[in-house]
Each structure stands twice: as C-alpha cells, then as structure tokens.
Chain A
Amino acid sequence: MLELALFYIFGTIAVVSAILVITQHNVVHSAIFLAGTLLSVAGIFLALNAEFLAGVQVIVYVGGILVLFVFVIMLIAVERSTFERQFNRQWKIALITSAILIGELVYVVYQGRDTFVLAEPAVPLVQGAAGNSQQVGMGLYTTYLLPFEIASILLLVAIVGAVVLAKKKTQTE
C-alpha cells in the first residue's frame, strides 16, 4: 500500500508540476516546478527499487542540471519575455497532435496491461548481499564499460562545446 500511496502522491505531483512547467509565464517559476517534477520522479524511482538512480536523479538533475538552468536564467533572463505571447501559433495543432500521441501511448499500454501484472515479482530484485548500487556499479564497470567511457567523453565534449559557445568574445577575435 505504501508503494501505491507513494506512486500516486509522487505521480500526481510530477504530472501537475510538469503541466505547470510548460504553462508558466515566468521562466523562474517553470524552473521551480521542474524541480518539483524531478524530485517526484526521484521518488518514483525509489518506489521502483532503484535507490541509486533516485540518488543520481536528485544529485545530477536537481543539483546539476537544474542549477545550470537557473544560472542561465539569471544570466540572461529578460523580463520582457514574461509579457510576451507564450505560445506559438501552432499550439492548437500541437495540442491535437499531443492528444493523439497520448491516446496512442495509453492505448498501447492499456492493451498490454495484463502482461505487466503477470510479470510482477514477489521478491526483491536481487537476492544476497549485493545492493542496488553495487549491482548498477557491477553492470557499469563490466558489461557496459565501453559505453560508459564513451559517455564520459561525450560529457567532456559537451563541456568544451558549452564553454566555446558561451565564451565571451575578446577584442582580438
């Protein structure tokens, strides 16, 4: 029951916050609600026995990416944009499209709902001493070592790219 309660509480917060994220005029507010969504999703992860991922979610998303967003907003935020039109001209078509999208998604899941019920496990993910973090670590550093390293390079490239893009132009250039 606890899990169900957690799921609904976090799920509701997540969805509501997400809707607020995309409807706010003020970007700062959007960011705050985004934090709400992200934290809720971390809670969902906990409910799914992914403790390590929950931690990562909080640390990386909320502590890293979101803070980055806020910094950028502080750097460049223009009050002007708050008073402008917030949605573009295709919003109606977009809404309809999105409605079809969710319809399709829901339909897919709904069609397959029985398989999911059957698959529900009675026991924790992995038996024994190994905890969730250990299992993730084992997977990352053995089977997925190469993708992991590639991901690190990707991050490095992204850092360099971001620096180059955001760098202030000097007089000489």
Chain B
Amino acid sequence: MNFLDLIWLIPLFPVVGFLVNGLIGKRLPKSVVGIIGAGAVLVSFIFSAGAVLQLAQLPAEERSHTVRLYQWFDAGAAQTLGGQMARFQVDFGFLLDPLSSVMILVVTGIGFLIHVYSTGYMHEEDGFYRFFAYLNLFMFSMLTLVLGSNYLMMFIGWEGVGLCSYLLIGYYFHKKSAGDAAKKAFVVNRVGDWGLSIGIMLIFVSFGTIEFTAVGEAVREGLAAGSFSVSDPLFIGIALALFVGATGKSAQLPLYVWLPDAMEGPTPVSALIHAATMVTAGVYMVARSNFIFQMAPEAMAVVAVIGALTALFAASIGLVQNDIKRVLAYSTVSQLGYMFLALGVGAFAAGVFHLMTHAFFKALLFLGSGSVIHAMHHEQDMRKMGALKNKIPITFKTMAIGTLAIAGIPGLAGFFSKDEILWKAFSNPQGHVILWLLGVVVAGMTAFYMFRLLFMTFYGESRVDHHVEHHIHESPKSMTIPLMVLAAGSVVSGYLGIPLWLGGTNAFEHWLEPVFEPLPITQAAIVEHSHAFEAGMAALSVMVALAGIYLAYRKYYKTSYRAETEVASYGAAYPVLQNKYYVDELYDGLFVNRVKDAGVGLWKFDAKLVDGAVNGSASLTVTGANGSNWWDRWIVDGIVRFIGGFIKTASWPIRLIETGYTQNYALVMVLGVLIIIGYALWGGQ
C-alpha cells in the first residue's frame, strides 16, 4: 500500500470517529464509544507510521510529498507587492516531509495513548461520547494543522484546535470557571490568530502563493536573484506577525494567560492539548516558516528573547503553585519558552526535538497527575496530598521517571533535548550568553518545582482528608498502561538525537535537515568549540538541575510541608508569584474591562447620539410639522374657514326657510301651484 499518497486519510479517520460518536454515540455503550474513538486514532497512527517509513526510504532531498485533494477555493486575481499578478487560490492539500512526519507521529502516537487513558479516566462521566467526539475532532484539526500543505490548511487546523480546546476546556460546562476559561482561551488565541492571518496574507501578497514549499522556493529564488534581502522590513513584519500567532497558540508572553486557566478541562485534555500537541503548534509553525524567520534575524532575536523570558517567567510562577495541574501548566509554558528560545537562536531542529521529548514526558506527567487526581477523588491541591508513594505505586514510578526527564537528568529524554537547546543558545551565531544563562537558571528552577511536586505528592506525611484516604486506589489498567508506555518514551525518545560529543550522530537533526536547510545568507561564522567544552557546559547545566533537586529535597522531603514556612521563605515575592505577577488583573484592567467599557460607552453613544440624531431629526420634523400644522390650521385653513363662516353668517335669512320639515316644503310647493294657476287664470291677460 502506498501510504504516501494516502496521507489525506490520516486526518480523516478521526473525522469518522467524530461523526459516529457525535451523532449516535449517545446510544452506544461506553466501551464501543471508546473503541471507536481510540481506534480511529490508532488507524491514523498506523497510516502515519506507514507513510513515514515510506518517506524515510526516499533519498533525503526527495522527502517532501504533497497530496492535493482539490482546489479549496480560488478568490480571483490579486496583485503582489512585486507588481505581479497572481491568483489567490488555495488547495486542499497535504504535505508530508520530515517535519510533519515527526509531528504526526507525536500527535497520533501520544494521542492514541491519551485516548486509551481517557477510556479509563472519563468512565464515570455522562458525556463520555461527547468527550470522545471532541477528542477525535481535535485529532482531525491537529493532524490537518501539521499535515496541511499551505498556510491556510494549517490555519484550518489552527482554528480547529482552538475550537476543540474551547469545547474541551468547557467540557464541564456547568462550572462557570470552565466556561470562562474556555472563552478566555479562544479569545486570547484569536488575538494571536489576528497576527497569524495578517502574516499569511502578507506572505501571499509577497510571494503570490501560500504553499509552504512554493514560498520556500520563492524565498530562495528571490534571495538568489537579489530581489529579497535579509532584514527586509517585509520579512520582519511577516515573521513578527506569524510569531504573534505563535505566542497565542503556544502560550508565550504576553498571550500565555489562557493556558493555566485551561486546566479547568479534564486532565487527559490537558495532557493532549495543553501539553503535548496543540500548544506546540506555534513551535511547529515557526519551524515550518524557518525560511522567513531566517530572512529576519531581528524577528528571530525577538523570538529568542520572548522564549527565554517566558521560560523564566512561567517557571518562577510554577515555584509556588499548589494545584498539581497548575504547576504542570506553568511548566509547560516554561518548556515552550525553551522551544522558542531554540527557534530564536536558529536551532530549529533542537526546538522540534525538545517539542517531541517534551510531548512524551509532559503528557506522562499530566496523565500521572490525572491518575493521582483520579485516586484522590478529584482533589487537585497538593497541600492535601502526601505519602501517596506506596498507595499508587505505578503512578508514582512513572511520574518519577517523567520528573527526572524534565529535570534534565542525563540518560533521559529531557537531558538530550534541553542540553541541545542550551548549547545552541550559547554557541549559535544568533545566540547569546545571557540567553544561555537564562536557560540554565530555568533548568534549575524546573528541577526544583518538579521535585517539589513529586515530594509534596508522594512523600512526607499524609495530609489527605480522612474520608478520601480509605478510597485511594491505583488506577485501572487502561490508565496505567499508557503511563508506562509514555514513561518508556520519556527515556527512549532522547536517544534519537544523541549529540556528537557523546559519540552519537544526532540522527534527529539529520532527519530534519531537508526542511531546515539554512538559506545562503552570509552570517557570523559559527565559533567552533571542542566536544570537551560542550560536555563541560552540559555538566554545568546538570549541576544546576541537581542543585535545584537538592534544594527541593531539603525543603520538601527533609522537613515536612508547612504552608507558613513556605510562604515565609519567599518573603515579599510570594504573593506576587502566587498571584502570577497579577497579569490577569492587569489584562482585565488594561484590556478586558476597557473593551467592555468601550462597548458600554459606544452603546450609550449609539443610543444617545447616533440614534439620538435620528430621533432628534424625527422630533425636529414633528416640531416642524406642528408648526406647519399651526400655519395650516390658523392661516391657510383660517382663510378658508373665514370664507365659509362669512357665507354661513350671511346666509341666515335663507336658512330660515330651510326648516327641514317636509310639510313646509309641500306648503311652499302648493303656494307655487297657486301662483301658477293664478297666473294662468289672470296673469296672461
């Protein structure tokens, strides 16, 4: 079977699952719903794996396969900036290349595991079928996003995942907080989409096409022909516009605010959408647009700085959060910052590598936390946990692996990818030592808060409610098996990209090379460093991580947890961190309430002034009408009535005759007859 030409089926299978579950799922037993939901994704995974394997067999330069289904739309002629005519036409097409193959494997693979997990986790829920329908719709959108052959196809998925995120965050729609969070997520994402759509339009008017490959070629040709130059404001503009989109979807400063709130959704959703796949869409998009970003080093610098700052910012908030899912959410934001740091310094492959490893261990951590929450009867506050190690051993062990991986302990996936990013941030021409330093600090903080989570949850003395304590139990197999698979992935996935200094080949980077081929731009020469130096740097970052772990060990393992001591140890910083630097309040004050005020103000303006003008002119007309009515009545009609009145008055003698009595008239008639007879008798003589 030629899977390469069937890649368009990959997003389609989940659609089938969505339709079946959405339309008749209510009447199906839960087991069937689960099988349909997970099965559709499994089939997609099989097709993805087949397609990727066949792609891998092609020579490296031919690893780009486009399947064009039909022309989606053709909105007519347009003038490009170069004065050329082009047609704004968009194909419904799918593109499989090394980048999208990594993405579809991550999405379908981890997606499948999370579907399986959900059959266990969501088993008690009434809206089971609805949940799986949404999940499948999400899978469709996400796969369209990463498989689309042009920017608008990507945009379909981009908006589609936004919708699914909206639906899934709002899954517990009876909770107001869930509804608020869902709306917040969608609207904040929309702000990003605003930028993204402007970027896409700019791409079209610049190159006359929005096909990824065609745009890439156009950039190369333009560069070769000298019609494009590096740091052209146009490219900076496009790159920044696209990056605005990325900050929205991937929760970077300043648009990260929706992601922590998105934890209102069910935990598998947090794992799938808000950790492993959807939030990495921004990373994917920037990586996909690498040819544009390479043309705009200034924009790359912005990406790197934003990424590093986001990493630091989110990590610092994560230090003091008490909700187990919120810690992970801020961790996600922070790790995404890492990825953008990598992209910003030109290490696209490193960014994507971290995207992949992060997908494994963060999905694992979320699912593990879900397992904990499941065991604790929907208690998410870590202050009410503790000493769960022996009660839910599988969850504990897998989560420990995930924690070690994210902390960057050598031998696990996180180490390879994170170290790659830090090294590139230091060594790449676009990199800077300050960026590296930020990255290292964040690494230490990450290790600290993740171990804080681990210790607070599984060690120490139990702070669990007595009612809950008796019921704590390990989760069913449908939940633990995905955990174990993901734990294995969190270890193994790193070995795809063993760096050169460890004697590896960095296979992952090679695989992506056709996509991230550097443009022929003259830039600062790459400073060569010895492998030993690189190893030293890696050791340094590991040392920092270990220091973070030790600190957490001192604070949360050796001494039993006391909220007051924790608050005291941060001093004045604690309320700031606990309240997330008051950013939500700031945004509310600066934007949300201002927009609402503007709405109210304009509404009043509309009612009073605009409509007032209308009504005013109406009442003016009425006043005028009254005036002319007066004129008409007293002057114009007055003359008429005067004439009438005059005649009436003057006619009184005649009126006397007109009595209205029939017999009067008859009498007069008789008199007339008399006169006629009299005249006949005597008058004629």
Interface residues of A (CB under 8 A from B): 88, 90, 93-94, 97-98, 100-101, 104-105, 107-108
B664 with A104: CB separation less than 8 A? no
Residues from chain A with Cβ under 8 Å of B670 in the complex:
97-98, 101
Residues from chain A with Cβ under 8 Å of B681 in the complex:
104, 107-108
B674 with A104: CB separation less than 8 A? yes
Give per-residue flags for B346-373: 1 if the beta carbon is below 8 A from chain A beta carbons, else 0. 0000000000000000000000000000
Residues from chain B with Cβ under 8 Å of A104 in the complex:
674, 677-678, 681
Q: Residue on A with the closest CB to B661?
A: A88
Out of B667, B677, B678, which one reaches A94, CB within 8 Å? B667
Q: Residue on B with the closest CB to A88?
A: B663
> Measured between C-beta atoms, what is the minimum distance from A107 to chain B in Å?
7
Give per-residue flags for B648-685: 1 if the beta carbon is below 8 A from chain A beta carbons, else 0. 00000000000001011001001101100110010000
Nearest first, the 5 closest Cβ-Cβ pairs linking A and B are A104-B677, A97-B670, A100-B674, A94-B667, A101-B674
In the complex, what distance in Å separates the CA atom of A104 from the CA atom of B661? Answer: 26
Q: Residue on A with the closest CB to B663?
A: A88
In the complex, what distance in Å separates the CA atom of A98 from the CA atom of B669? Answer: 12
In the complex, what distance in Å separates the CA atom of A94 from the CA atom of B664? Answer: 9
Residues from chain A with Cβ under 8 Å of B677 in the complex:
101, 104-105, 108
> Measured between C-beta atoms, what is the minimum distance from A158 to chain B in Å?
20
> Measured between C-beta atoms, what is the minimum distance from B393 to chain A in Å?
93
Q: Residue on B with the closest CB to A105?
A: B677
A97-B670, A97-B671, A101-B670 known, 18 other contacts, Cβ within 8 Å: A88-B661, A90-B663, A90-B667, A93-B667, A94-B663, A94-B667, A97-B667, A97-B674, A98-B670, A101-B673, A101-B674, A101-B677, A104-B674, A104-B677, A104-B678, A104-B681, A105-B677, A107-B681
> Measured between C-beta atoms, what is the minimum distance from A145 to chain B in Å?
32
Interface of B is mostly: helix
In the complex, what distance in Å separates the CA atom of A64 from the CA atom of B530? Answer: 145
In the complex, what distance in Å separates the CA atom of A85 from the CA atom of B673? Answer: 28
A90 with B678: CB separation less than 8 A? no
Residues from chain A with Cβ under 8 Å of B667 in the complex:
90, 93-94, 97
Residues from chain B with Cβ under 8 Å of A98 in the complex:
670
A-B interface contact total, Cβ < 8 Å: 26
Residues from chain B with Cβ under 8 Å of A105 in the complex:
677
> Measured between C-beta atoms, what is the minimum distance from B674 to chain A in Å?
6
> Measured between C-beta atoms, what is the minimum distance from B665 to chain A in Å?
11
> Measured between C-beta atoms, what is the minimum distance from A16 to chain B in Å?
23
In the complex, what distance in Å separates the CA atom of A66 from the CA atom of B291? Answer: 121
In the complex, what distance in Å separates the CA atom of A100 from the CA atom of B663? Answer: 18
* Docked complex: B532-549 residues within 8 A CB-CB of A: none
* Docked complex: B483-541 residues within 8 A CB-CB of A: none
> Measured between C-beta atoms, what is the minimum distance from A38 to chain B in Å?
22
Residues from chain A with Cβ under 8 Å of B671 in the complex:
97
In the complex, what distance in Å separates the CA atom of A94 from the CA atom of B673? Answer: 13
Residues from chain A with Cβ under 8 Å of B678 in the complex:
104
Residues from chain B with Cβ under 8 Å of A88 in the complex:
661, 663
In the complex, what distance in Å separates the CA atom of A88 from the CA atom of B663? Answer: 9
Most buried by B among A93, A97, A98: A97
> Measured between C-beta atoms, what is the minimum distance from A108 to chain B in Å?
7
22 CB < 8 A contacts A-B? A88-B661, A90-B663, A90-B664, A90-B667, A94-B663, A94-B667, A97-B667, A97-B670, A97-B671, A97-B674, A98-B670, A100-B674, A101-B670, A101-B673, A101-B674, A104-B674, A104-B677, A104-B678, A104-B681, A105-B677, A108-B677, A108-B681
Residues from chain B with Cβ under 8 Å of A101 in the complex:
670, 673-674, 677
Most buried by B among A88, A104, A105, A108: A104
In the complex, what distance in Å separates the CA atom of A74 from the CA atom of B667? Answer: 30
> Measured between C-beta atoms, what is the minimum distance from A13 to chain B in Å?
26
Q: Residue on A with the closest CB to B670?
A: A97
> Measured between C-beta atoms, what is the minimum distance from B672 to chain A in Å?
11
> Measured between C-beta atoms, what is the minimum distance from B663 to chain A in Å?
6
> Measured between C-beta atoms, what is the minimum distance from A103 to chain B in Å?
9
Residues from chain B with Cβ under 8 Å of A107 in the complex:
681
Give per-residue flags for B165-209: 1 if the beta carbon is below 8 A from chain A beta carbons, else 0. 000000000000000000000000000000000000000000000
> Measured between C-beta atoms, what is the minimum distance from A30 to chain B in Å?
17
* Docked complex: B404-452 residues within 8 A CB-CB of A: none
Residues from chain B with Cβ under 8 Å of A90 in the complex:
663-664, 667
Q: Residue on A with the closest CB to B664?
A: A90
> Measured between C-beta atoms, what is the minimum distance from A115 to chain B in Å?
16
In the complex, what distance in Å separates the CA atom of A94 from the CA atom of B674? Answer: 12
Residues from chain A with Cβ under 8 Å of B663 in the complex:
88, 90, 94
Q: Residue on A with the closest CB to B678?
A: A104
In the complex, what distance in Å separates the CA atom of A93 from the CA atom of B677? Answer: 18
Residues from chain B with Cβ under 8 Å of A100 in the complex:
674
Q: Residue on B with the closest CB to A101?
A: B674
Q: Residue on B with the closest CB to A104?
A: B677
In the complex, what distance in Å separates the CA atom of A125 from the CA atom of B678? Answer: 34
Residues from chain A with Cβ under 8 Å of B674 in the complex:
97, 100-101, 104
In the complex, what distance in Å separates the CA atom of A90 from the CA atom of B670? Answer: 13
In the complex, what distance in Å separates the CA atom of A107 from the CA atom of B670? Answer: 17
Q: Residue on A with the closest CB to B659?
A: A90
In the complex, what distance in Å separates the CA atom of A153 from the CA atom of B681? Answer: 38
Residues from chain B with Cβ under 8 Å of A108 in the complex:
677, 681
Residues from chain B with Cβ under 8 Å of A97 in the complex:
667, 670-671, 674
> Measured between C-beta atoms, what is the minimum distance from A109 to chain B in Å?
12
> Measured between C-beta atoms, what is the minimum distance from B578 to chain A in Å?
84
Q: Residue on B with the closest CB to A94?
A: B667
> Measured between C-beta atoms, what is the minimum distance from A106 to chain B in Å?
12
In the complex, what distance in Å separates the CA atom of A108 from the CA atom of B673? Answer: 14
> Measured between C-beta atoms, what is the minimum distance from B534 to chain A in Å?
107
> Measured between C-beta atoms, what is the minimum distance from A54 to chain B in Å?
29
In the complex, what distance in Å separates the CA atom of A168 from the CA atom of B360? Answer: 99
In the complex, what distance in Å separates the CA atom of A148 from the CA atom of B152? Answer: 100
In the complex, what distance in Å separates the CA atom of A98 from the CA atom of B661? Answer: 18
In the complex, what distance in Å separates the CA atom of A100 from the CA atom of B677? Answer: 11
In the complex, what distance in Å separates the CA atom of A105 from the CA atom of B678? Answer: 10
In the complex, what distance in Å separates the CA atom of A100 from the CA atom of B678? Answer: 10
In the complex, what distance in Å separates the CA atom of A100 from the CA atom of B676? Answer: 13
In the complex, what distance in Å separates the CA atom of A105 from the CA atom of B670? Answer: 13
Residues from chain B with Cβ under 8 Å of A94 in the complex:
663, 667
In the complex, what distance in Å separates the CA atom of A93 from the CA atom of B664? Answer: 10
